[in-house]
Amino acid sequence: MKKYIAIVVIAFISLQLTAQTPKQIILETKNAALVLSVGSNQRVTQSYLGKKLPAADYTQMRGGREVYLTAGMENPNEAAIRMVHSDANPSLELQYVSDAVNKKDNDVSTTNIILKDPEYPVEVVLHYTTYYNEDVFKCWTEIKQHEKKPVVLTEYASSMLHFNADEYWLTQFHGDWAREVNMIEEKLTNGIKTIDSKLGSRANLNQTQTFFLSLNNKSTETEGELIAGTLSWTGNFKYTFEVDSHNGLRIISGINPYASEYHLQPNETFTTPEFIFTYSANGKGQASRNLHKWARNYAVLNGNGPRMTLLNNWEATYFDFDEKRLVELFDEGKKLGVELFLLDDGWFANKYPRNNDKAGLGDWEENKAKLPNGISYLVKEAESKGIKFGIWIEPEMVNPKSELYEKHPDWILKLPNRKEDYSRNQLVLDLTNPKVQDFVFSVVDNIMTKAPGVAFFKWDCNRPMTSAYSPYLKDKQSHLYIEYTRGLYKVLQRVRAKYPALPMMLCSGGGGRADYEALKYFTEFWPSDNTDAFERIFIQWGYSYFFPSKTLSAHITTMGKQSLKYRTDVAMMGRMGYDIRVNSFTPFELQFSSEAVRTYKRISPVIWQGDQYRLVSPYEANRAVVMYVSEDKSKAIVFNYNMNTRRQDIFNRVQLQGLDANKKYRLKEINLFPDTRTNQPDNDKVLTGEYLMNIGLNLSPRAAALTSNVYELTEE
Ligand code: GLA
């Protein structure tokens, strides 16, 4: 009898325990885990974010901070969401209802967690997609309400993450026109640090939505625990980093709610942009490689496909060209051996010809004086010379001196009763208006209809939004920044529905737009109008933390004073192109360049698809060294840029990374200028991966000022 009672008691206790064991939602990738728990009050908390652990360890983790903190109730800090209900109640409580996992394949699965307010008909769905092999997490949120009247959203984050560490080190990337993505790392102190943009159309001009957050200590390329985060949104964004009184950090990411109160209609769903992050326990290099791989596999248009080498005419001619000159340029492109000619700004508008940046923007008809036979003639001429033809557009903008401005003053963002506010002599079209969306789509569609052979577009956007007011939105002005970006996506979706594979470069007066939502529609982007190779090393280095090399357009121009070889070597670490007068090349320069194009085509699969290792940072030394290793580790390309300008520096040996210690590699210096010889003492030697990664190479044997080298390692 006693035994029987004991069994019943044990059964009762274990039943009680099961009932009380808090539910956990475990999101795992190959090396990382995010653990959420549901508390007895039905609130969902983040119990853990970090290195993947044995499953049993997660069950020890309870509680934590609320995963999508609401405003208006007991939370005194920054919130992920703030809603004012139709009865003016400014609070929200979110309780767990259910969760479900949707496993797409062995790599990708999405967990959806439904939360509801117990008193108001409001539903919030938290979405988390994990990319197992890439160690990447994607988070976004849907907000719905079923009240009788609209509610007002004044905060609507994509996600919120919590950390508990001794110290937090934030690396951000800021800049301006022609000096993009300067990296700076600082320790976060108690209080709030905000990184945001209020620029609307050219949102990344000053701040980028990319950051590293290192825990406990600063991280290096190879050491340190950190996350690398970025928001997929081509408009105003905001990050809030708040260190609270207990030294806990919360990171809130999302659309910038600045001047953007959102009136959510009954039954409408507000979907936030995606916040992407990767976790690395081995420094920034690993985080970048995770993101590069993820971007190629899932984010960028044709992410695993090839890119075209090209000749662009912007810095070669600016606005000063005609049909004859362009046809000559096709020949110059042909001499180089590039695949595409890209016609830049200045080809359109008749009543107010586009001969400078003061007129014509918006009038997308070929200028009859410059191009009497139109684009289709140019396409045919280019094709007859064995080169493809691409074209520049800036379809979201208008010069006041244009027919478009005269015909459709109501299509333009500008304040009533105020003077027009110009930037680069232009204004932004009102993309919230479906008619304007039709027009912007027609800019691409008309060109493609007239000249179906057009093989590439450069889509520019040269001004931010200021003094913005939408004639279309009328009394809903606070929706402008959001609806503009949504309007842009609607147009891009239409372009992609009709022209799914057409390669397009995203440009915004340099790197004013570079984010993963835009890159769903683009194959590459223009990082900066600064094409001085010395400056470009920093700029391309900065972008390389978050974007794979094949998305970084890098052109050889005459802007910098470095040798043609140096400029070429720098462009080779991205998607190489030219923007230069080839007819002013010396025979040696032409020979070097056409060989460089051939070399690039041969080695580019490693640069585009390989793993990138940043070996020596230009921020820390007078040189930069970057290498790319093919996935099977049979090939590697090493770029060495000496950035010393004052004297012959002494540079130490560089230990390579990412090779197979057991493989043997032959080292060859490539891309040499005609009539020059390598100084590399180990040139043509066969060395083991072990040696190369431990003893390393003397990459700059003479270290002459502003010289550079490209080395190829091939498995023997
Ligand atoms: C922007 C782009 C340049 C060029 C010009 C043309 O500045 O970044 O590459 O296309 O516009 O006006």
Query: pLDDT tens digits, residue range 74-114?
Result: 999 999 999 999 999 999 999 999 999 999 999 999 999 99
Question: Over the stretch 440-456, which tens digit does the pLDDT of each residue have?
Answer: 999 999 999 999 999 99
Q: Is the pLDDT of residue 5 over 90?
A: no
Classify 160 in phi/psi space as left (phi over 0), alpha (psi -120 to 50) or beta: beta
| Residue partners of 22: CB distance under 8 A and separation at least 6 | 37, 38, 39, 40, 62
| Residue partners of 652: CB distance under 8 A and separation at least 6 | none
Q: What is the torsion angle, in degrees rounded to the nearest 10, for the CA atoms of residue 171, residue 175, residue 181 and residue 186?
A: -10
Task: Specify the residue with its C-alpha closest to ligand 1, atom 12.
Answer: 345
Tokens of 405: 């401005």
Question: Over the stretch 27-51, which tens digit does the pLDDT of each residue have?
Answer: 999 999 999 999 999 999 999 999 9
pTM equals 0.96
Q: Is the pLDDT of residue 1 over 70?
A: no
Q: Hey, which bits of 59-105 come out as E strands?
A: 65-66, 81-84, 95-103
Question: Given pLDDT bands bounded at 50, 70 and 90, which one contains residue 701?
Answer: confident
Exposed, middle or buried: residue 74 (CB in 10 Å: 0-12, 13-18, 19+)? exposed
Kindly state the percentage of the chain with pLDDT values over 70. Answer: 97
Question: Over the stretch 366-378, which tens digit does the pLDDT of each residue have?
Answer: 999 999 999 999 9
Indicate the pairing of strand 274-280 with strand 262-264. Answer: unpaired
CA 448 distance to own-chain centroid: 27
Kindly state the percentage of the chain with pLDDT values over 90. Answer: 94
Decide: 285 in ligand 1 pocket, CB within 6 A.
no
CA of 393 to the centre of ligand 1 (A): 10
Task: Specify the residue with its C-alpha closest to ligand 1, atom 9.
Answer: 529
CA of 528 to the centre of ligand 1 (A): 9
Question: Given pLDDT bands bounded at 50, 70 and 90, which one contains residue 17?
Answer: very low
At residue 11, the 3 state secondary structure works out as: helix
Tokens of 466: 């200021």
Decide: 314 in ligand 1 pocket, CB within 6 A.
yes
Question: Over the stretch 534-566, which tens digit does the pLDDT of each residue have?
Answer: 999 999 999 999 999 999 999 999 999 999 999
Question: Given pLDDT bands bounded at 50, 70 and 90, which one contains residue 13?
Answer: very low
Mean pLDDT of 332-355: 98
For residue 462, give the ligand 1 atom closest to its CA: 1
Task: Specify the residue with its C-alpha closest to ligand 1, atom 11.
Answer: 509
CA of 406 to the centre of ligand 1 (A): 24
Task: Specify the residue with its C-alpha closest to ligand 1, atom 7.
Answer: 509
Q: Count of CB atoms within 10 A of residue 474's CB?
A: 8
CA of 509 to the centre of ligand 1 (A): 5
Mean pLDDT of 347-353: 98
Decide: 399 in ligand 1 pocket, CB within 6 A.
no
Mean pLDDT of 502-506: 98
Decide: 507 in ligand 1 pocket, CB within 6 A.
yes
Reported as type and span, the H/E element at residue 209 is strand 207-215
C-alpha Rg value of the chain to the nearest Å: 28
CA of 98 to the centre of ligand 1 (A): 50
How many angstroms separate the CA atoms of 546 and 232, rounded?
A: 12
CA of 429 to the centre of ligand 1 (A): 18
Decide: 459 in ligand 1 pocket, CB within 6 A.
no
Q: What are residue 565's phi and psi, to 5 degrees?
A: -60, -45
Q: Is the pLDDT of residue 3 over 70?
A: no
Mutate to test the pocket of ligand 1, among 461, 462, 505, 559 (most ligand atoms within 8 A of CB): 462
CA of 695 to the centre of ligand 1 (A): 45
Please state, rounded to an integer, the average pLDDT across all residues of the chain.
96
At residue 188, the 3 state secondary structure works out as: coil
Indicate the pairing of strand 269-271 with strand 32-38. Answer: unpaired
Q: Give me the residue label for tokens 């797409």.
A: 104
Mean pLDDT of 290-313: 98
| Residue partners of 559: CB distance under 8 A and separation at least 6 | 315, 530, 531, 532
How many angstroms separate the CA atoms of 394 and 526, rounded?
A: 14
Looking at residue 498, its amino acid is K
Q: Is the pLDDT of residue 638 over 70?
A: yes
How many angstroms separate the CA atoms of 28 and 279, rounded?
A: 11
Q: Give me the residue label for tokens 């990138």.
A: 612
How many angstroms separate the CA atoms of 100 and 192, rounded?
A: 34
Decide: 342 in ligand 1 pocket, CB within 6 A.
no
Output the pLDDT for position 525.
98
Looking at residue 593, its amino acid is S
For residue 357, give the ligand 1 atom closest to its CA: 12
Output the pLDDT for position 20.
55
At residue 303, the 3 state secondary structure works out as: coil
CA angle at residue 11 from 6 to 15, to 5 degrees?
150
The set of long-range contacts for 317-321, using a CB threshold of 8 Å and a minimum separation of 24, is 317/346, 318/346, 319/345, 319/346, 319/354, 319/355, 319/356, 320/346, 321/346, 321/370
Output the pLDDT for position 15.
40
Classify 672 in phi/psi space as left (phi over 0), alpha (psi -120 to 50) or beta: beta
Q: Is the pLDDT of residue 286 over 90?
A: yes
Question: Given pLDDT bands bounded at 50, 70 and 90, which one contains residue 222?
Answer: very high
Decide: 510 in ligand 1 pocket, CB within 6 A.
yes
b/e for 9-37, b at 16 or more Cβ within 10 A?
Answer: eeeeeeeeeeeeeeeebbbbbebbbbbbb
Q: Is the pLDDT of residue 384 over 50?
A: yes
Task: Specify the residue with its C-alpha closest to ligand 1, atom 6.
Answer: 345
Q: Is the pLDDT of residue 19 over 90?
A: no
Output the pLDDT for position 179.
97
Greater model confidence, 187 or 15: 187
CA of 599 to the centre of ligand 1 (A): 28
Task: Specify the residue with its C-alpha closest to ligand 1, atom 3.
Answer: 509
Q: Is the pLDDT of residue 8 over 90?
A: no
For residue 508, give the ligand 1 atom closest to its CA: 8
Q: Does residue 379 contact residue 390 with C-beta atoms inside 8 Å? A: no
CA of 19 to the centre of ligand 1 (A): 63
Output the pLDDT for position 21.
63
Output the pLDDT for position 340.
98
Q: Count of CB atoms within 10 A of residue 661's CB?
A: 12
Tokens of 573: 């670490």
Output the pLDDT for position 702.
80
Q: Count of CB atoms within 10 A of residue 232's CB?
A: 21
Decide: 392 in ligand 1 pocket, CB within 6 A.
yes
CA of 512 to the centre of ligand 1 (A): 11
Mean pLDDT of 285-313: 98
Mutate to test the pocket of ligand 1, among 180, 507, 531, 552 (most ligand atoms within 8 A of CB): 507
Indicate the pairing of strand 159-164 with strand 248-255. Answer: antiparallel
Q: Does residue 546 contact residue 280 with C-beta atoms inside 8 Å? A: no
Task: Specify the residue with its C-alpha closest to ligand 1, atom 8.
Answer: 509
Looking at residue 581, its amino acid is R
